[in-house]
Structure 1
Amino acid sequence: MSKSIKLQALQLGVCYYPEHWPESLWEDDFRRMRELHMSVIRVGEFAWSIFEPEEGVFCFDLFDRALDLAHKYGLQVIMGTPTATPPAWLTQRYPEVLNVSQDGVTYQHGARRHYNYSSPKYRELCARITRELTEHYKDHPAIIGWQIDNELNCEINVFYAEADHQAFREWLQARYGSLDELNQAWGTVFWNQTYTAWEQVHLTRPTVSDSPNPHQALDEKRFISDNAISFAKIQTDIIRETAPNQWITTNGMFGHLDSHELTEQLLDFFSFDSYPQFSTIFPGSEDNPLLDRAWSLHLSGTRSISPNFCVMEQQSGPGGWVNRIEMASPRPGQMRLWTYQSILHGADMLLYFRWRTATVGTEIYWHGLNDYHNRPNRRIQEAAQVGRELAAVGGALAGTKFQADVAIVRDYDNQWDGELDKWHGPLTGMSERAWFKQLQAQHIPVDVIYMRSQTTVEDLLRYRTLIYPHAAMMTADTAELLAKFVEQGGRIVFGARTGYKNKQGHCLMEPMPGPVASLCGVTVEDFTLVKGTVPAARLKWTDAEPMAASAPVSAEAAILASASRPVSVEETVCWAEAFNDILQVENPDVETVAVYASEYYEGKPALTRRKIGLGEAWYYGAAFSEPVVGELVRRLGLKSPVEKWLVLPPQVELGIRAADRTEHVFLLNYGNTPAEIQLKQMTLDVLSGEMLNHTVQLPPYGVMILLKEK
């Protein structure tokens, strides 16, 4: 059961650091926040040396005054536990708490997140500061909840201190029970790695080939996740005991951490930090990248943890540290656009980072709402507009859910295994981007769902179509669950390299795609990596006329074609990219939808469909490209939920948040030019209060929320 934030109205707020500013500024800051319709602030997550200036000496005066004043102005407070940045006295006195690189280099004091989760002393001191804080603030009328730590596994998500090696051994002993079982799980018979004493076992260490035992590397990531959760549990247990009436969350999501398990075990709901311009720094290699719009995929992953969540940090200005991450200033309207991007995807509480840009330290270029001069600027004006709008419509939106009939399926084991295994890991990102980009362009909302041991067929049947691109690791239980989903009317689409590994990452001694071979009705008779001098094979759709070979169609051309009309197989040449599984049909129910039209396997099946029960199982023997996805969208019959009454250009994102009787249809223009919206019925834009019909213009970076009765 997903855990969500529960609010009667959307809440807007900001991250605030009273310890950074003269006390003479506080009252004016709080007054102006309220004028912007802000109702919540987050404080304290980096203030350990303020709360405990020397070991065992606690001082809360500064924050007492700040919280009392915030309460006077009607601001609610989220208190952070300050364990992401241990104070200098702590790391100097107890150097064993510091994290260590894989090469054995100790990370020193001077940044943040330089500790390890395993140190008994660090756990002890974190427990003490958490208890002192909660005992002191458990009855403060301003505090509504707690953020534990800050961005677990951000900055660094691997840990190699001596305490980590010891904790890893203990974790392995609990998991496997004996060295014989561990040796079996890790396949240590290969290259003479067999262990005969637990003291010989470590986390991965530098190797000659720079390629550690893959099964050890997978368990290392599982351990890091479990260890981070056990570290967080120390704090949540104390807060639950001491301040049971205040909720608990933390902000993520970062690598090597099962955020679903973390939330289910410890939190009341999950929180996310939304910085869409990261997608402009790393836009991907495809033509016409989605840029900040691509951030919606990250928000969709967050929604899989908590359908309604908190954005604890929302980008409000240009971002950058003194030594890295250069982000341009948001263009006029973009900050508001990003705010509604988060709200569309499930944020019911949203706090801008930060109130005022820091004048000292590493983040002097990570800009907040206010600039150094503290005078009005256009970002403040945009925040004021958002505040007015949410004050008017926030009550109607709170608790509504994002609507989608299509979901991209993920799981942590394949994500973690794919970091090392380049024979399947890189395919997933490529395929997810292709699907997400095409669905976005065709205005088909999509969810992200994580396959977990607790997942039920009812969870899957919320969707008509599932995309599970490259699940190399596939268990018999998961295959059985997916078969039930298909039999009861679902459609699932697999990609290359599916189902050839077990839970330990061992390759199965059976035909690929292993546990889902019978579901798909095919096996893989041969395969090849597409790389270097080995080209991708051309595809031929079995119901199309032969086409002359040509270069791959650009992603931009494919998107524009698929957005304006269905992609025609006669118009677009498709290539089977990155990896080619050559398929063998094993079941007479299987239809070959496309074959390879070049290379030594010309004429062999590349894309198949098997109807089983009420549903369908599709298998595609390559990584998904945008042209291929465009054709699959057409063949699967995927349609925009608004196609009968709205005509939208590709630059506009469509999403729907719905309650029992109403739908709020979000239209977000990511373009720097106006977008023409065609409405075929009179509709209310709840933000402007205007009734709209026929053709309207959505300004650059503009937002509309249309109200529609179900």
Structure 2
Amino acid sequence: MKKTLLMGLALTCGLASQAQKQFFKPEKMVETGVYYYPEAWDPAQWDRDFKKMSDMGFEFTHMAEFAWGQMEPTEGQYDFKWLDKAVELAAKHNLKVIMCTPSATPPVWLTRKYPEILVEMQTGQTGQHGTREHYSWSSAKYRELTSKMVEAMAKHFANDKRIWGWQIDNEPSHYGTYDYSPAAQANFRIWLQKKYKTIDNLNKAWGTAFWSAIYSDFSQIEIPNEKRLYSGIASPISVVDFKRFSADECASFVSMQCNVIKANVSKEQFVTSNFMHGHTDVDPWRNKDLDFISYTMYPVAGYTKGVGDQGFRLGDPWRISYANDFFRPLKGVTGVMELQPGQVNWGSYNPQPYPGAVHAWLWNAFAGGLDFICSYRFRQPLFGGEQFHYGMVGTDGVTELNGGQQYNQFMKEIRELRKLYKPNTQMPKEYAARKTALLYNVDNVWETTVQPQTYQWNQITHVTKCYNAVKLLSAPVDIVGEDRDLSSYPVVIAPAYQMVDEALVAKWKKYVENGGNLVLTVRTGLKDRNGHFREAQWANAIVDLIGAKIAMNDMLDNDIKAKVSFNGNTYFWNNWADMLEPMQGTETWATYADQFYAGKASVIHRKLGKGTVTYIGTDTDDGKLEKDVLKKVYELAGISTNEQPEGVMVNWRDGFWIAVNYSSSNVTINIPQDAKIIFGTKELTPAGVVVWK
């Protein structure tokens, strides 16, 4: 297993270095940039702004993704003169440019002349000019017009060496809205016919015998609209299929633009798009035509409590690390295209980040192996829908705001760190030995959203809780799909993997028999790929694998706290719990301490071939049970861990260790005596960072 692990790590490094050779310089490690909107500012100020950008330490800028109306003021008439001037001035100050396609915001002439391109919401209302992402991915006319716009841009900047790369669209999605337009309806029927071939196959997969929902022809099918299905959904999997279709339509729209760009520009220019972390109405992994996928990240916007009384100003400790490990494995390279610069305007409430938090986020992003970090935006806007959104500089266009000062500090530190960089530095063996894969399939997110069973269930919350538990043990993580070869990972975790087939379970079994350590959690193996229960005992697909039967499950209201006992400690739960009945040879690690099933197994563990299988049958709010069970799994496998206090993230990259404190208290980092501290100290205040080697 160890030999295979080293081979796997070498392969991963090879993927990254191949992309780095083409688009990035490894010795720079990370390059930092910032969004700029020349169309929003007096051209007389552009030179001053780009100079300020460069003086602050930025190495690239990003423009044009919301400027379709300025680049094509009337249909077929293109104007790039103003953009040429902006690119020229950026280059004057040694700033590379990421050029963006403007499909997120079609101009008014387009939406008025071709209203069929607009998205149609669940209510039957169409999107209105004056917002963004309000177009339909399924509209043939919008694809035609977008293709022409992108081709014009690509040909204009085809051999321009000042253009570093391209971003397609902006956060491709409909921000939680789905498209019910006639074009989407027509394409959905085509998609279903390609998938199921016959209407009988669809009826079987959708279980349409329930509630007399049987179809005799694909033309009868409507997009399942939950606002119209007011008394329940006859076929939950129909909703999952619609979500699958929508994600495919988005990926197809992005790929269309990608292909147009690549047909016209230099191979030295990369093509990417930025997806929002945590938004599951699209699936970034579907976008395999891109050179790599990047992401946007806003840790503090009123939606998280974090750790401790100031956690709402610091963000969840796992959030940036999770995004790094989710977006990087697809191509071995990623970057954050939008990293929060300070206070924002669109949250449920918008607190000021904790002093030093922006600096901590930057180092956390760096620690994840990113090749670039970009912030939205350089100047705080004077008008428009984001006036309260901070930039690097304030409303006077000159004064550096707190976030700008922290970016400046980080960029100075990176320039110092580059002097210490050594190529081909090997990951420390002890760290590599705890390399962990976390299996993810967006189908499980969609399916459990349709039938959560308890109002407390949130698939992403459960997955990220398991992820956080692993990171608190200082393990490197790849978040991967089912197609990934698992043999290079000593530990694999499949959280709440509700839909499985025989092939996947066989793959898990082979992985374990060859020496791997597999950890499964609640809700795993309950359904097939069509979301059906099997005509067999509960969770029959995994019974032989885990060495136990799942007798039943339970869930409680959020004000009821039930107990689990593990290793002499008590843990509390109320979300979801499986009551397990171990077979011969399977150990019981944890038991329920109350309710009418007190004494039933909650966590079980067994040896299988050369490896082990562990099933965590209880979902806790704080994740402490999951973390302690995982720690025992590592220890029994002979894998050392380095447990951190809640809120601390420790990562290694390129020969450097980075620790970031997201907690609201001071913590002391355990740094070896012979280590050299480069920045910071081992005593970390909230938002503190220490870098050592």
TM-score > 0.5 by shorter chain: yes
Corresponding residue SS for 2:650 = strand
Matches within 5 A, 1:244-643: 244-245=266-267, 246-253=269-276, 254-262=279-287, 264=288, 266-278=289-301, 280-283=302-305, 291-295=315-319, 296-321=321-346, 325-377=348-400, 378-394=402-418, 396=421, 405-423=435-453, 426=457, 428-440=459-471, 442-452=472-482, 454-456=483-485, 460-531=486-557, 537-541=562-566, 569-570=567-568, 572-575=569-572, 577-586=574-583, 588-625=584-621, 626-638=623-635
Instruction: Show the counterpart of 2:74.
Output: 54
Give the conservation status (yes or no) of the 8 Å contact 1:407–1:463: yes
Per the alignment, residue 665 of structure 1 pairs with 657
Report the AA paired with residue 386 of structure 1. Answer: F
RMSD: 2.9
Instruction: Work out whether residues 436 and 446 of structure 1, in 8 Å CA contact, stay in contact via their aligned partners in 2.
Output: no
1:609–1:249 CA distance, 2 compared to 1 (3 A): same
Partners in 2 of 1:286 and 1:647 — Cα distance? 19
Letter in 2 for 1:112: R
1:173–1:609 distance in 2 versus 1, CA, 3 Å: same
Amino acid corresponding to residue 298 of structure 1 in structure 2: A
Write the letter of the residue equivalent to 1:235.
Q
Percent identical pairs in the alignment equals: 29
With over 3 angstroms needed to count, the CA separation of the structure-2 counterparts of 1:49 and 1:233, relative to structure 1, is same
Listed one character per residue, the Cα deviations across residues 579-628 of structure 1 (whole Å, up to 9, x for unaligned) are 23222233x22112223333332333222111011111112322245332
Q: Check the 8 A contact 1:649/1:677 in 2, yes or no.
A: no
Name the structure 1 match of 2:262: 240
Structure 2 residues without counterparts, runs of 5 or longer: 1-10
Q: Which shows bigger deviation, 216-225 or 597-606? A: 597-606
Letter in 1 for 2:517: R
Other structure's SS at 1:574 match: strand
Paired with 1:252 and 1:186, the residues of 2 have a C-alpha distance of 30
Change (3 A) 1:703 1:603: closer
Aligned length: 656
Cα shift at 1:574: 2.3
- Structure 1 CA distance for aligned equivalents of residues 637 and 371 of structure 2: 25
Shift of 1:183: 1.1
**Could you tell me which residue of structure 2 aligns to residue 559 of structure 1?**
none
1:98 corresponds in structure 2 to 118
Distance 2:399 2:91 in 1: 24
* Matching residue's letter, 2:516: G
Name 2:154's counterpart in structure 1.
134
Is the contact between residue 616 and residue 626 of structure 2 (CA under 8 Å) also seen in structure 1? Answer: no
Matched residue type, 1:698: L
Q: Note closer, same or farther for the CA distance 1:650–1:495 as it changes in structure 2 (3 Å cut).
A: closer
Task: Tell me how far 1:101 sits from its aligned partner.
Answer: 0.9
CA positional deviation for 1:216: 0.4
State the TM-score, normalized to the length of structure 1.
0.86
Contact 1:186 1:504 in 2 (8 A): yes
Q: Give the Cα separation in 1 of the matches to 2:83 and 2:233.
A: 49
Name the residue aligned to 2:45.
Answer: 25
Instruction: Give the corresponding residue for 1:549.
Output: none
Partner of 1:547: none
Q: Report the secondary structure of 1:686's partner residue.
A: strand
2:650–2:658 CA contact under 8 A, matched in 1: yes
- Which shifted more, 597-606 or 85-94? 597-606
Letter in 2 for 1:506: H
Q: Deviations over 1:190-242 (max 9, x none)?
A: 11111122221121122131546201001001101111111112111111111
Aligned match of 2:684: 698
Write out per-residue CA displacement over residues 491-527 of structure 1, whole angstroms, 9 at most, x where no aligned residue. Answer: 1222222212111111111223232221111122333
Work out the CA distance in 1 between the residues paired with 2:675 and 2:657: 10
Structure 2 counterpart of 1:550: none
Q: Which residue of 1 aligns with 2:648?
A: 652
SS at match of 1:293: coil
Q: Which amino acid in structure 2 is aligned with residue 326 of structure 1?
A: Y
1:36 Cα deviation from its structure 2 partner: 2.1
Whether contact under 8 Å (1:590, 1:608) holds in the other structure is yes
Higher alpha-carbon deviation: 312-321 or 302-311:
302-311
In 2, are the aligned partners of 1:408 and 1:446 still within 8 Å (CA)? no
**2:164 alignment partner, one of 120, 125, 144:** 144
C-alpha deviation, 1:532, in angstroms: 7.3
Match of 1:110 in 2: 130
> 1:156 and 1:598 mapped to 2: Cα distance?
40
